[in-house]
Structures are given as structure tokens and as C-alpha cells.
Amino acid sequence: MGLNQSTEYGQPSSPEELSHVLAERFETKCFSPLELTHFKDNFFTRATGQGDLKYWNEKILSDFLAIPDCSEAECPLDAGPVIFRMVSYLGAFPFQNTLAPSVLTFEAMVKVVVLLTERYGRVLRRARKDRIRLLFGSLADVGRKDVDQPANYKCDKENDEDHSAVKSHAPGFSVDEPTNDNYEDDEDDDLALAALESLDAIEVFKHDSRIDKAVYESRISIATFRRLLMLLLVTSPLKPLESVRAYTSDLREERMQAVRKQADNILAAFPREESGGISYKAFAKTIDTSLPYLFDPLTPLFEHLLFSKNLNLSQKRDRSDSTTETIDETSETPPPSPESIMLPGSFRSTILNPSIVSHLSFFLPSTNGSQNFLRDNLRLHPIFSTAAHGSSLTSFSHNVLTWQSGTLLLLEGAVIGSHNEKMVTLGAYLPQPWRSGSSSQSSRPSVSPALPCLFQLSPNHLLLPGNPSTSIQQPDTPAAYFSTHSGISLGCRIPPASRSQRLPPSPLGAGSLTIDTSLETAEFHVAPFGHNGVFLPSGTSSTSEPATKTHIDIYTLELWGFVPNPDVSSSEKSAIELQKAKWDFESREAERRRNLNIKAGAGDSAMEGARWLLETAGIIGDNHRGGGSL
């Protein structure tokens, strides 16, 4: 039976017919009737075409998503062609080899929105892994043999897309041409089988299944990936139905310099082939282990298709609808400035900026561990900064040990002994509050299901994830430890207390960070091995790499506290209120101590009584080691 013939049971058998049926299944399984109504209004009111064929071209797509037009003289965020190429590839799912690049008809856009808004659980058997393969294929614009050739797409300045739209289907990308039929890999064709098995169309799919084998031998060019990364960095704080223009309309040079810097830091985390570009295995492994939330900004971006301002019936027609205004990307009215994740407090950060916050959102989870912290609407409250509070462990203790929630530690400095003062930015995600004294580190359950992690943001991205086996910590291996005698230690083993000698904490496992008592220097230890510590090796490291120890001259040390979503009502007091209550208590106790009249000649009984009173209050005594651990 030929490929373009139907089965005797009337089932569709050509790729075009199957693609049509599959899009219908996507519509019914992945969208509500209301979402589908909004989707159709957005699409057909903007579509162009010839006769009955209605489709979107690159300009329509970029205008709707508020991506700056690449035809402008100065275009700092030239991501429109990359997004258009990705969408044209995904619209052909699961027949990319035969139908890609797809004309962006409504059916194609249905599949695009399903795949990019994480609604794919019912159509992809191994949802997350399959999505990574699809995203790689949509970006892989460097051929297997001619790795230095430019991408096989261009930014349309004219009406080339109108010409391609009238074809039954466009020829596939060169990267998708079948090759090496005997290619063996542990992957299989689950990517599309889950979507097609209910259609009795497996045999038809097998004619097109060699695309996956070709993908493994293709590459993503660095230039293409950088352009996408810059868009993701700019739009990462985007929330559903929020105006994209609020993030893409003001891209001044200072802002774009910070964006480019973070994009290059992230690119440095991806191993590159000798011939150039990023291979599938390097791409998938790095995303999975080091940047799990990298593509999250695409979800709210493409969810804009599911809300039409023309059909907003939630407000009276004679009232101004703020929700409509936030997603009207064609309005000339400047959109409201995005709300900052950083709450006002005792200092302003010299490390954090919007680009670094976006970088953090690509790998830091929320307190419940199910999504990135920006999507959970967390806020950062300033707790401690050497620039504002000085390099004093007493001040550190007063500000940090009183904070009753998770913290984000950030350190910026210069590598000692490097040429031209090579700068480095490190940090740690600590989801549990710091505790006073080692006795509190029992086998109590974790306050947060999220695991701690140690990371480097520049000059290259590096993530040392938390070890699940040490989530219930032992007293001698806290994720973070503070002592007036040794300073701050992350991921170290704490030696037992001794009256004869005071040993410093020792590095343990795959990563650790120690900061001296003056808060002026630090040591960052990284090893490609070691599964017995708090932090595990980086997913991109090789066991053949040597362990490294970096000495850092600290310029700034900052700690920020996590404040949960303020929109979620809670009967518990917030961490800010609890910290203020502890400070008030400390102030009252200090005043009480000043008012105690302990005279030298009052006799031993008076002295002992006063000492007993202070020890009972926990103000003095040697039953603690003068440290704090998390």
C-alpha cells in the first residue's frame, strides 16, 4: 500500500492527513473550549494567505509576540528569525523530515503551542526528554559535514513566505535529511509513537522516523543559540498574560551588555565539538543537569495565543480592562514597568541585576521544588551585605541567623593570582533557614523539599546540585555553617569540638566554599568526583578533569532571604515579621543586661545568681560552640 493511500478502514495514511488528524487530537486533548475560542480569534484575525489557506508569516509572529523586528537598523535582540525557524520546525511534528519547515497554518500553530506551553503530557510519552529533543531539532542549523555553514533559514525582508505558503509542503531542513540508517543509539521513536499509536499509523511514521537519527549528528551553532538565550534572559520574568513589551521595549545598551554577558556565561557551560557547534548529547545533558528551567520563558510567551483581547468578557465594555491592556502588544501606550523581585530593605544589591536574576531562574527551584523560583512568584528580601553592614561576623549573625526562611548567598570577587583581575561570581541556594548551634541539626525533616546547591555564574555557568542522600543532614555535614573561629563554610565537614585545638572545617564531596572570619577571602573547591558530600559533581563534568581550588579576593558578599508568594494567604507570620520579632527580643534582652546591677563586691552568691539568670536566658554560657549551621 502506498504512502499516500488510505487504509481499507478509512484511516489517514499520508503525512499530511495524519498531521491534520493529530492537530485535531491536540485541540481536543490539550485546550479547553474557551482557550480554543481565544486561540482561533487571535490566529484568524491576524492571518494572511491566498484563498482558503490562512497562515502566519515571520512578521505576524514577531509582532504578536512583541519580539523586536529584525529589519530595524539597530536590533539588539534579533531573535525573531530564530523563533520563526523553531516554530516552523515544531509545526511539522511529528513529520519534520517530510513536512518541515511547516507553513504556519492554524493546525501547525496548535501543535506549536502544545509543545511550547508544556501541555504535551498527553501526547509525548516521555514528556520532558522528548521536548528537549524537539527543541534541539528546531535549533540545529549546522549541518553534519559543513559545520561552519550558516543556518538554513533567513530573516524575511520581503514576501518569500507568501511564495512558500502555496506549496503543499516545503522541503525539509538540510539537517533533517535522512542519513546513516544503521545509526544505533539508546533512544527510540517514542517521540511520536505516543501521538500516533491511537491512529493506527505506526507504519506510516516509520517512513519518517530517521529524523531522530539525523538529529543526533547535527549541531546548534553558537550564534543561533546566543540569540535565543538573549531573548530568554530578557523575558524570563514574564508571567501569563503579562505584556511582553514591558521587557522588550526598553533594551538600552547598558541592559544589553548585561544580557550578552550572561548569555556568554551560559554558553560556556555547553561542551562544544572540535568542528564547532553544540551536539545533541551535550545539549541534552547540560539542560537536564545544569539548566533545567532554561526554556520556561517560552511557556508564558506562547500562552498569549490563548487569550484574545477581542473576547475579554470579564469586564464591562465601558470600563478599562487592565488585563486587556497588559497583553495588547500593538498599543502605543508604554506598558507598566515589571515588578522587581527584590524587595526594599537595608541595602541595594551590587551583584544582582535583572539579567542575573534571569540566569538564576534557569536552574534555581521554588521552595516546593516543582518549578523555577520566578514562576512561584518568590521575592528576595535583603538580609546582609558587606557593602552595607561591614565585614563583621557579629553583624552577619545578627542579620542571618534571625532569618526564618531559605536564603540565597552571592559572592563576587577577583581570582587571586589571575591576570587582569579575573572576576568570578559564586553563590549558594540554601532552602532551609540557618540555625543557631550544632545541637539543632538533628534528623528533623527538611523545611523545604528543594535541595541546596552550589553554583558559579561567571565566567561560566556551573551547577553543583544537592545530594538527596544528605537531605536529612548529619550534625557534622551541614550545607552551611558559621563560626566566629573559622568563618563561613558551605559543603564542609565540621570537626568535633575540642578544648585543646580548633580544627577548621574541611572540604567534602564534589564542591565546597569557605569564607574566612574577616569575610575578605574565600576558597572555592570543585571536583569531578565525590558523592559523599552535600554537593554532587556537575552533570557536565568529566571524571578525567582535575579537581580545582580557586582563591578569591571578595569584593562583595550578599545574602537574600526568600519570601513566599504574597498572594497565597497563610496563617503563619512571614519571615520578615519573625526576624523583626527576634530583633525586638534581642534589643529588650540587651537593655535588660545593661540594667542588671552586678557589683564586684556583692559577694559570690549574688554573682552566681546573676550568672545563673543569664545562662537560663541563654545569653551567656559555653554549651554552644559559637557557630551556626543550616
pLDDT at 292 over 60: yes
Radius of gyration of the chain (CA): 29
pLDDT category, 324, cuts 50, 70, 90?
very low
Q: Are 141 and 152 in contact (CB under 8 A)?
A: yes
Distance CA 495, CA 504 (A): 7
Q: Per-residue pLDDT tens for 150-200?
A: 434 444 433 344 433 333 333 444 444 433 333 334 343 444 444 555 444
DSSP class of residue 380 equals E
pLDDT at 77 over 90: no
DSSP class of residue 176 equals G
Q: What mean pLDDT is predicted for residues 512-517?
A: 96
Q: Per-residue pLDDT tens for 383-393?
A: 999 999 999 99
Q: Which pLDDT belongs to residue 203? A: 44
Q: Are 476 and 494 in contact (CB under 8 A)?
A: yes
419: left (phi over 0), alpha (psi -120 to 50) or beta: beta
| Bridge partners, 411 (sequence order) | 426, 557
Q: Which pLDDT belongs to residue 541? A: 80
Q: What letter represents residue 532's amino acid? A: N
How many Å from the N-terminal Cα to the C-terminal Cα in the chain? Answer: 67
Q: 229-238, 385-394, 593-602: which has the minimum mean pLDDT?
A: 593-602
Distance CA 65, CA 327 (A): 10
Q: Is the peptide bond before 504 cis (omega within 30 degrees of 0)?
A: no
**What's the whole-model pTM score?**
0.81
Helix, strand or coil for residue 454? strand
Q: What letter represents residue 140's amino acid? A: A
Q: What letter represents residue 588's amino acid? A: R
Q: What is the SS3 string spanning 222-278?
A: HHHHHHHHHHHHHHCCCCCCCCCHHHHCCCCHHHHHHHHHHHHHHHCCCCCCCCCCE
pLDDT category, 609, cuts 50, 70, 90?
low
pLDDT at 413 over 50: yes
Sign of CA dihedral 309, 311, 314, 316: positive
Q: What letter represents residue 206's amino acid? A: K
Q: Which pLDDT belongs to residue 471? A: 54
Q: What is the mean pLDDT of the chain?
A: 77
Torsions phi, psi for 113 (to 5 deg): -65, -40
269-290 burial by CB neighbour count: b if 16+ within 10 A, else e?
A: bbeeeeeebbbbebbbbbbebb
Q: Per-residue pLDDT tens for 347-380?
A: 999 999 999 999 999 999 987 767 888 888 889 9
Percent of the chain with pLDDT over 70: 70
